Amino acid sequence: MSQTVDRALSILPLLAEGPADLGQVAERLGVHKSTALRLLRTLHEHGLVYRQSDQRYRLGARLFALAQETMENLDIREIAHPHLVRLNEACGHTVHLAVYEEGEVLYIDKVESRYPVRMYSRIGKPVAVTVAAVAKLLLADLPEPERRALTDKLDYPLYTARSTPNAPAFLRELEQVREQGWATDLGGHEESINCVAAPIRGADGRVVAAMSVSAPNVVVTAEELLTLLPQVRRSADAISGEYSGRTPVTDPTRDLA
Amino acid sequence: MSQTVDRALSILPLLAEGPADLGQVAERLGVHKSTALRLLRTLHEHGLVYRQSDQRYRLGARLFALAQETMENLDIREIAHPHLVRLNEACGHTVHLAVYEEGEVLYIDKVESRYPVRMYSRIGKPVAVTVAAVAKLLLADLPEPERRALTDKLDYPLYTARSTPNAPAFLRELEQVREQGWATDLGGHEESINCVAAPIRGADGRVVAAMSVSAPNVVVTAEELLTLLPQVRRSADAISGEYSGRTPVTDPTRDLA
DNA sequence: CTCGCCGTTGCATTATCTGCAACGGCCATT
DNA sequence: AATGGCCGTTGCAGATAATGCAACGGCGAG
């Protein structure tokens, strides 16, 4: 909607690929070098872009700080965290919390496994949306048209032989997930890793987040992991209760200066 | 340098404080509502801002993804990570990696303690620069004018009785740190937590990062932690060697379209 | 020593952004 | 049920601010 801002923001994903110098930025934006320079300078003043010693630009530290603050301001996360910790203490495995936003699912909290073998994941990283248990729960609850539109334009990468292969299969799976109220990922993302997940609902019953327990085959079999399902669901329901009670659409903003 | 972009980017820290509606954003920017709307829309298109169900705006998921990619592109991090893991396996405590950028020090990697009592910290979070051991190392190596300018405009919050109280004391400490080539934080940030840290240097000898081992008093005393110093320094030196060898100012960019 | 590349600057042009005013939906109030 | 006010949204004309150009200077390579 605003050309100048649009151009400036287009620089960010470009730099996310790796450092670039002024000429490269200008070329990829399709603007004059002087224009690119002014945009980069503005981004720099705000700390979103950093100029390293070799004069090339890369993304800046402020991005981390912003991402950090965003996360800490998410009220679901705050409410859920102690429950995740408790569940982790009870079962010992890695516990994740995830939310949906604009076609993506991302982890917003994580409590690490106590076992030495850990699965790789990082808070803030977009989740493999076609296979992850938490993603299935979040997508299953979308209004039908949105769900349809999304599943249509998704890719279905075959991480393993058990990955969801295409849109129709995925839609069927989502249907089932929605009805049973829980989801699994049995080696669909990484051959040797299984997850069980349960939904967290707001006061209106809509799914606002999902949590999961993940563990590699070498620690527990898929069957053993499934026995944890009741525990996971109880945790999720407890969070749902607190969340519905405390924060329907409340606004704790206090700055009427 | 560019007014429009400047205004748009000013929205981000504003939203980092918490969700806000159009009117609030416009007011705090000092612009007309229609202007604020156009800026927010542009930010939204790029995923930096998200519009929640109650129509208010908050920071968006793309921020996480960008922060994530930035981090993973840092070559020091990549080189250092296995060393951090090895050090953690050897001593069991929390290991951090930090860099300096534009007046701030931030953690860019972390391997969690194996002990149940863990110190709080998060990757991406700016470090308490006047007390953290890694910060001392990074600031001690700055060129004198920059170091002076920075220490002058810093705050010196008294987290504990052993926090660095003011600029002169801090400068003396930095002097000592630079000469001895390592640093500590003995309860200067949190009463019961101690750290020992060592610098990682580039090919030209400049400090490019710093790593530390942290542990609470209840697990090991400060004296015991200090016995780990040689190990920490060996790790840091090993990383320095690899980093100098592999990446002086190399550019792995491959896109001359 | 010289050539060429890259980042940088001042300036005139013109495109772009801004504020205004008016509309419409929604919620709360009477 | 009707009404008033609030908030987000849109089209438009004026004015400001962004753009590309051309020229400079520093730096490294040949």
Predicted pLDDT at B253: 33
What is the SS3 assignment for B230-241?
A: HHHHHHHHHHHH
Closest to B4 (Cβ–Cβ): which among A5, A73, A123? Answer: A5
The pLDDT, as a whole number, for residue B72 is 79
- Which of A63, A102, A112, A253 should we substitute to test contact with B (largest number of B Cβ atoms within 10 Å)? A63
For residue B247, the model assigns a pLDDT of 46
With the CA atoms of A235, A237, A240 and A244 taken in that order, what torsion angle do they form, in degrees rounded to the nearest 10? -140
The yes-or-no verdict on residue A120 having pLDDT over 60 is no
Q: Span A74-246: which CATH code?
A: 3.30.450.40
Domain ranges of chain B: 3-65, 74-246
- The pLDDT, as a whole number, for residue A121 is 57
Enumerate residues 6+ apart whose C-beta is below 8 A from A70: B16, B58, B59, B63, B64
Q: What is the CATH number of domain B3-65?
A: 1.10.10.10
Buried b (16+ CB within 10 A) or exposed e, A176-198: ebbeeebbbbbbbbbeebbbbbb
Structure tokens, A182: 């829980």
Q: Closest nucleotide to B7's CA, by C1' atom?
A: C17
Q: Alpha-carbon Rg of chain A, whole angstroms?
A: 21
- Å from the A161 CA to the D20 C1': 54
- The mean-pLDDT minimum among A42-51, A93-102, A117-126 falls in A117-126
Q: Is the CB of A23 under 7 A from strand C?
A: yes
Please give the sequence-ordered ranges of beta strands (E in DSSP) within A161-242, or none if there are none. Answer: 183-186, 193-201, 207-216
**CA B17 remoteness from chain centre:** 20
CB A30 within 7 Å, strand C: no
Residues B217 and B175 sit within 8 Å (Cβ to Cβ): no
- Asked if B60 and A102 come within 8 Å (Cβ–Cβ), the reply is yes
Q: Give the pLDDT means over successive 10-residue stretches in chain B (257 positions).
A: 96 95 96 97 96 92 86 86 94 94 90 64 80 97 92 95 96 97 96 96 91 94 96 97 66 31
Asked whether residue A38's C-beta has any atom of DNA/RNA strand D within 7 A, the reply is yes
How far is B231 from chain A, CA to nearest CA, in Å? Answer: 22
Ranges A30-44, A85-99, A243-257: which has the least confidence = A243-257
Burial-class residue A77 by CB neighbours within 10 Å (0-12, 13-18, 19+): middle
pLDDT at position A247 over 80: no
Q: What is the pLDDT of residue B121?
A: 58
- Residue B101, strand partner residues: B104
> Which of B55, B59, B51, B44 is closest to B12 using CA atoms?
B59
Same fold, A3-65 and A74-246: no
Task: Determine the pLDDT at residue B120.
Answer: 52
pLDDT of amino acid B117: 52
